[in-house]
Amino acid sequence: MKIKGIRIIDILPLFFLLLLSGNPVFSSGKYPKEILVIYSVFFIIYALSLIKWKLKKPVIDSIFQILIFIAVLVIFQRIILGFVSYPGVFALILKILLGLFTFLYYKKKNIDFANTYIKLLAILSAISIPFFLINQFGYYGIKINEGLTKTFILYTSTQKSIYDMSPFVRNSGMFWEPGAFAGYLNLALLFVALKNRGFKIGNYSKEIIWITVGLITTMSTAGYLVFSLILIIYVLQNYRWGKFVLLPIVVLILFFAFSKFKFLGKKIESQFTQAVEMSGGKVSNTRFGSLVMDWQYIKARPLIGNGLSARTRYRFNPSVVLKEGNIGNGNGMSNFIAYWGIPFFLFWIFGFYKFSYKVSGSKKISLIVVLIVFLILQGEQFLNFPLFLAFFSIPYMIRVSRKQKLNLSYSKNTL
């Protein structure tokens, strides 16, 4: 069976990568570490068996480069901070390798990774809609923990929290919460832009419809902000009179939505006010509050970070250390920088930019996409998971043929 030229069996490696990138059963169930190690080891061995020797050298070079960078950070963290979480470092390396070898599987099969991701997210979005409607009347499935979450694997069913400002139970897809689903869906839209070498619909009209429906049902504040930006750029790029006619209409609709719905404007205003009023040592897990809280750790160790252990990462907040760092940090970017330092984050950003440029051939589109990814990272802990961590290495596995270079050169002149 095929989905527009892609066999179902060939979607599975990316599907499993996504399961390990935030599905509650695989990332926060009873045995998340064991599942990660067992699956990663077996899949990496299998992928290695498929790769020809001529490809193994650049693979080894890429892995060696990352390992050296991480090793240097770990050595300095051990010397300066006095402690390193070696299991955490091993997990980070394993996640990077899993992402890399998943990409190499698709490279060997001559299957487009970004194209497969777009189609898979459209499928997952379509699957989530009936479950989302059922979820309005109750939450069902296998209970994961003591929280308000149950799962069907393909859908995470939640109970509405009294702190949730949205009018309905929100769509989490198969991920841990709606904001995470929104982030992965927005990433799919960015991949569409890269594939089309511009913010266009191209051959992805059906996929975009399902992804948009999924995004709307997440009712995610960050997800809506990112989607709004993508929509505005789309209007500006594709309609000659967009800046005079369509753009004002889009802006008015967005302004109305953010002023009308509490989970948008009021939520942002409330979190921003709380962050501004935060005093030293105060703990917060909101998006802005986490940024303020993390800033003191980033200033303290901007180059090497503060490590993965709660005793070093949250040493200025003893109450968080007692909770072993489990406070639900609301800002994925600042949390990652606080863990690993600014240079390591810039290394990731450069990798994502390089991937974007090799796919799109446009510096302009690549820079816009990277800036939007900055916004996506403000929401959830995406950089804790294999899919996003893969961009440390996969750009170096993409080779552009001479024919592609000519096409990319032409596309630069037409964008």
pLDDT attached to residue 29: 73
| Amino acid identity for residue 397 in this structure | M
In a domain, 332, yes or no: no
In a domain, 200, yes or no: yes
pTM above 0.95, yes or no: no
One-character DSSP codes across 90-143: HHHHHHHHHHHHHHHHHHHTT--HHHHHHHHHHHHHHHHHHHHHHHTT---SEE
In a domain, 296, yes or no: no
In a domain, 276, yes or no: no
pLDDT attached to residue 413: 36
In a domain, 347, yes or no: yes
For 411, counting Cβ atoms within 10 Å of its Cβ (0-12 exposed, 13-18 middle, 19+ buried), the class is middle
Question: What domain range is 347 assigned to?
Answer: 2-238+341-414
Count structural domains, the chain: 1
In a domain, 303, yes or no: no
Specify whether the CB–CB gap between 386 and 96 falls below 8 A. yes
The tokens describing 274, both together, are 């709380």
In a domain, 170, yes or no: yes
Full pLDDT tens readout for the chain, 415 residues: 556 667 788 899 999 999 999 999 898 777 889 999 999 999 999 988 887 756 667 778 788 889 999 999 999 999 999 999 999 999 999 999 999 999 999 988 889 999 999 999 999 999 999 999 999 988 888 887 756 688 899 999 988 765 566 678 899 999 999 999 999 999 999 999 999 999 999 999 999 999 999 999 998 888 998 998 999 899 888 887 766 666 677 777 666 666 666 555 555 555 545 544 455 566 666 666 778 788 889 999 999 999 998 888 888 888 776 566 666 666 889 999 999 999 999 999 999 999 999 999 999 999 999 999 999 998 889 999 999 999 998 888 876 544 444 444 434 433 3
In a domain, 199, yes or no: yes
pLDDT attached to residue 298: 93
